[in-house]
């Protein structure tokens, strides 16, 4: 089956609900902020029901040092809150506290087809040449992600460009389950990919995604970086010798220049066209300091608030526990009904 074809009103029976997640596989980056967190806050503020998850079960698909995982999970929670997620209006929790994710993930392992999984490009990228040595979990990652989303009957999934294929697989799993059991039980959720920075690229290589697990710290801006570190990384970002063009088409074969313009646009809330109009004809000697000032102005308050929140890890754990209880209340009836549809006896 290809990405599920859905009737226009397929999700009409479901209340609009947003689910998305971030892996605590390291400190969060500017890519995670612009592609995910910033947009998660916008969705919350639009008044849609929002459920956000720190997906620690996904993070362990590659080995994680236990102390670092604990720290990264709390730090991700601090980043959500510092960026503007209100843990009362949104549900914010870490995945492993709601065991229904793993249970529905197993069920979806039995719904997803090997042929579908074999097409997943993220597995190929992450497993690299040594795929025989990759964990089975890394291979099954997309069906656990489908469980994360469908466990809450979410209808919309804000993600960066790199996760589009996984949301399409989620749609296929939902449609196949509904078809196989002759039900309209799961919605077929839509990926929501919007804004100027759906794919923020590495500062060292404009053809590679900015990633928290890139071995080069210079390739990314971390949400914990100091103002000096941010300015230095932008100053040293790879570029070409040409000045900025006077229209967007002039960025076509200039991935590094395009990336910096997109970052500026996403941070300032302008379009890339407006940024180009402002800086046309100027070299990077002028553009980079303007970008560094903007990045520091936008990120410094978040970093400061994260530091304040991280000083009280017990409070972060309390917030995550509270979110997990609320998530569980939504998830349990949906899991129970899924098992019932499949013919599993539930008698205790
Ligand atoms: N560079 C990026 N540009 C735009 N969006 C991005 N996202 C990640 N990197 C970028 C979006 O952030 C959300 C959470 O991603 P994730 O933590 O689940 O995993 P990922 O996509 O694999 O991100 P990383 O940083 O590259 O993690 P590692 O290095 O651990 O694999 C998603 O919505 C993603 O699209």
Task: Report how far ligand 1's centroid is from the alpha carbon of 26 (Å).
Answer: 11
User: Which residue, among 85, 87, 82, has the nearest Cα to 304 in the 3D structure?
Assistant: 82
Asked whether the beta carbons of 245 and 284 are under 8 A apart, the reply is no
Catalytic residue among 38, 209, 233, 298: 209
Residues forming beta bridges with residue 191, ordered by sequence position? 157
Assign 116 to helix, strand or coil: helix
Report residue 280 as tokens.
């046309």
Q: Establish whether 38 is a catalytic residue.
A: no
Give the global pTM.
0.94
Q: Establish whether 182 is a catalytic residue.
A: no
Per-residue confidence in pLDDT tens, the chain, 348 aa: 555 555 556 789 999 999 999 999 999 999 999 999 999 999 999 999 999 999 999 999 999 999 999 999 999 999 999 999 999 999 999 999 999 999 999 999 999 999 999 999 999 999 988 899 999 999 999 999 999 999 999 999 999 999 999 999 999 999 999 999 999 999 999 999 998 889 999 999 999 999 998 999 999 999 999 999 999 999 999 999 999 999 999 999 999 999 999 999 999 999 999 999 999 999 999 999 999 999 999 999 999 999 999 999 999 999 999 999 999 999 999 999 999 999 999 998
User: Which residue, among 82, 49, 311, has the nearest Cα to 156 in the 3D structure?
Assistant: 49
Asked whether the beta carbons of 268 and 294 are under 8 A apart, the reply is yes
Spatial separation of the C-alpha atoms in residues 193 and 3, rounded to whole Å = 16
Asked whether the beta carbons of 30 and 223 are under 8 A apart, the reply is yes
Assign 321 to helix, strand or coil: helix
Domains of the chain: 3-198+312-342 (3.40.50.620), 217-308 (1.10.240.10)
Q: Establish whether 126 is a catalytic residue.
A: yes
CA angle, corner 280, sides to 278 and 286, nearest 5? 80
What number of H helices and E strands is found in the chain? 14, 5
Catalytic residue among 68, 126, 164, 288: 126
- For the sheet with 17-22, list strands across it: 91-94, 49-54, 17-22, 156-158, 190-192
Count CA within 13 A, CB hemisphere, residue 167: 22
CB-CB neighbours of 284 under 10 Å: 21
From 30, 125, 163, the mutation candidate for ligand 1 (largest count of ligand atoms within 8 A of CB) is 163
Asked whether the beta carbons of 187 and 164 are under 8 A apart, the reply is no
Task: Report how far ligand 1's centroid is from the alpha carbon of 184 (Å).
Answer: 31
User: Which residue, among 215, 182, 223, has the nearest Cα to 36 in the 3D structure?
Assistant: 223
Residue 191 burial (C-beta neighbours within 10 Å; 0-12, 13-18, 19+): buried
Report residue 229 as tokens.
């570190």
Report residue 107 as tokens.
């069920």
């Amino acid at each position: 089956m290809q990405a599920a074809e859905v009737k226009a009103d397929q999700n009409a029976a479901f209340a609009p609900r947003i689910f998305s997640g971030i892996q605590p596989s390291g400190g969060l980056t500017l890519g995670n902020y612009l592609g995910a967190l910033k947009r998660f806050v916008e969705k919350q503020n639009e008044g849609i029901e929002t459920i956000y998850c720190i997906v620690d079960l996904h993070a362990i698909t590659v080995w994680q040092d236990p102390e670092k995982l604990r720290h990264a999970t709390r730090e991700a929670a601090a980043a959500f809150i510092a960026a503007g997620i209100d843990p009362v209006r949104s549900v914010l929790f870490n995945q492993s506290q709601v065991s229904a994710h793993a249970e529905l993930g197993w069920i979806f392992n039995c719904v997803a087809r090997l042929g579908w999984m074999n097409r997943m490009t993220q597995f190929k990228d992450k497993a690299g040449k040594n795929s025989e040595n990759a964990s089975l979990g890394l291979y099954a990652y997309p069906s656990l992600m489908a469980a994360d989303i469908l466990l809450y009957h979410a209808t919309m999934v804000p993600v960066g460009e790199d996760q589009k294929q996984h949301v399409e697989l989620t749609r296929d799993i939902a449609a196949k389950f509904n078809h196989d059991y002759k039900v309209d039980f799961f919605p077929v959720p839509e990926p929501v990919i919007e804004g100027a920075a759906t794919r923020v690229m590495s500062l060292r290589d404009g053809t590679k995604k900015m990633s928290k697990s890139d071995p080069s710290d210079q390739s990314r801006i971390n949400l914990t970086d100091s103002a000096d570190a941010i300015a230095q990384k932008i100053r040293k970002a790879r570029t070409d010798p040409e000045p900025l063009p006077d229209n967007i088409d002039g960025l076509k074969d200039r991935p590094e220049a395009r990336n910096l313009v997109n970052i500026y646009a996403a941070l300032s809330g302008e379009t890339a066209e407006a940024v180009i109009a402002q800086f046309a004809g100027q070299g990077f000697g002028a553009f980079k300091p303007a970008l560094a000032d903007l990045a520091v102005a936008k990120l410094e308050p978040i970093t400061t608030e994260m530091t304040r929140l991280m000083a009280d890890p017990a409070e972060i754990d309390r917030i995550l526990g509270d979110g997990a209880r609320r998530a569980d209340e939504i998830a349990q009836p949906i899991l129970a009904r899924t098992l019932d549809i499949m013919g599993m006896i539930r008698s205790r």
